């Protein structure tokens, strides 16, 4: 069974906004279940930074 096997230790939740998927982490820096989730997270982070900068200026 997958959830009771050795890969259970590598099961992670995706860090992307609004993503509810889980994935098996295959390397140390993996944070997202797929590349499009990584892109969505980076775009959201950029949007927050530019919004904060516009609020200060």
pLDDT tens-digit series, residues 3-13: 778 888 889 99
Is the pLDDT score of 57 beyond 90? Answer: no
Q: List the chain domain ranges.
A: 2-56
3-class state of residue 23 by DSSP: strand
The strand pairing partners of 23, in sequence order, are: 12
pLDDT by residue (tens digit) across 1-40? 667 788 888 899 999 989 999 999 988 899 999 999 999 9
pTM (2 d.p.): 0.68
Closest CA to 32 of 14, 49, 57: 14
**What is the structure's pLDDT at 3?**
75
C-alpha–C-alpha distance, residues 46 and 18, integer Å:
16
Is the pLDDT score of 49 beyond 90? Answer: yes
């Amino acid at each position: 069974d997958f959830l009771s096997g050795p890969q259970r230790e590598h099961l992670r939740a995706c860090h992307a906004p609004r993503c509810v998927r889980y994935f098996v982490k295959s390397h140390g820096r993996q944070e997202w279940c797929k590349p499009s989730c990584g892109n969505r997270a980076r775009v959201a982070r950029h949007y927050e930074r530019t919004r904060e900068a516009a609020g200060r200026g």
